[in-house]
């Protein structure tokens, strides 16, 4: 398999996985009205094909940099930039792979996206809410199958009270709620 074929297959797998995760959540979480936007609650997808993976994040911006309207003042702009820089710089301390598999986590993209106002939803004001969405690439020396993953999200972003994490390593799925520092998940080692 060539390098480009391989990256296409990972991307396809990842987006298939994420659409399955998001689809499943929207039908089960009936207590959340209109959308899944809830301050303090983020979503994370981690998907691996062999030793290469992706981390996908979606967090209400209020829980990342303290507000969700468009940054207007210099203070708001620097608050936003500092938080996004921290997310990029600290991701490998927030999502900690086993040191034995030597993973390198690098930013693919980080964006602040205004929440979809929802056509016909009179209660929503344009620009009222926004999400911080991010994608990171993970390159490891070995697959994380059979290793332990540790989450220390609140160490850097204490306002994220509940991070729902869905993990796909090869064909094995796992899910964990990273509600406090030190939450771990053991990834099964299946062929
Ligand atoms: Zn909001």
CA geometry: angle at 43 spanning 107 and 13, to 5°?
65
Which positions ≥6 away from 12 have C-beta within 8 Å?
none
CA dist 50 and 87 (Å) reads 25
Look at residue 117 in the predicted model and tell me its pLDDT: 57
Query: In this predicted model, what pLDDT tens digit does every residue of 135-187 receive, in sequence order?
Result: 999 999 999 999 999 999 999 999 999 999 999 999 899 999 999 999 999 99
pLDDT band at 33 (very low <50, low <70, confident <90, very high): very low
Q: Pseudo-torsion of CA 118, 160, 16, 21, nearest 10°? A: -80
7 Cα–ligand 1 center, Å: 34
173 Cα–ligand 1 center, Å: 29
Look at residue 47 in the predicted model and tell me its pLDDT: 98
Rounded to two decimals, what is the model's pTM? 0.80
38 Cα–ligand 1 center, Å: 6
143 Cα–ligand 1 center, Å: 36
Query: In this predicted model, what pLDDT tens digit does every residue of 72-127 receive, in sequence order?
Result: 999 999 999 999 999 999 999 999 999 999 999 999 999 999 976 555 555 555 55
What tokens appear for 54 in the block? Answer: 């992706």
Look at residue 124 in the predicted model and tell me its pLDDT: 53
Tell me how long the chain is. Answer: 191
130 Cα–ligand 1 center, Å: 6
60 Cα–ligand 1 center, Å: 6
115 Cα–ligand 1 center, Å: 8
- Which candidate, 91, 103, 94, 3, places its Cα nearest to that of 53? 103
24 Cα–ligand 1 center, Å: 22
pLDDT band at 189 (very low <50, low <70, confident <90, very high): confident
């Amino acid at each position: 398999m060539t390098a480009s074929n391989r990256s296409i297959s990972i991307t396809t797998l990842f987006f298939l996985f994420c659409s399955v995760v998001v689809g499943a959540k929207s039908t089960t979480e009936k207590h959340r009205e209109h959308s899944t936007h809830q301050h303090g609650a983020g979503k994370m997808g981690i998907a691996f094909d062999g030793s290469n993976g992706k981390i996908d994040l979606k967090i209400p911006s209020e829980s990342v940099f303290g507000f969700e309207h468009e940054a207007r003042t210099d203070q708001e702009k620097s608050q936003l930039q500092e938080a996004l820089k921290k997310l990029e710089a600290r991701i490998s301390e927030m999502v900690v792979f086993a040191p034995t598999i030597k993973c390198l986590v690098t930013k693919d993209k980080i964006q602040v996206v205004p929440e979809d106002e929802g056509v016909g939803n009179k209660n929503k004001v344009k620009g009222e809410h926004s999400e911080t969405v991010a994608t990171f690439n993970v390159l490891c020396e070995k697959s994380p199958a059979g290793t332990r993953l540790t989450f220390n999200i609140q160490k850097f972003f204490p306002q994220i009270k509940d991070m729902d994490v869905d993990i796909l390593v090869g064909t094995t799925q796992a899910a964990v709620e990273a509600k406090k520092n030190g939450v771990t998940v053991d990834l099964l080692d299946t062929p």
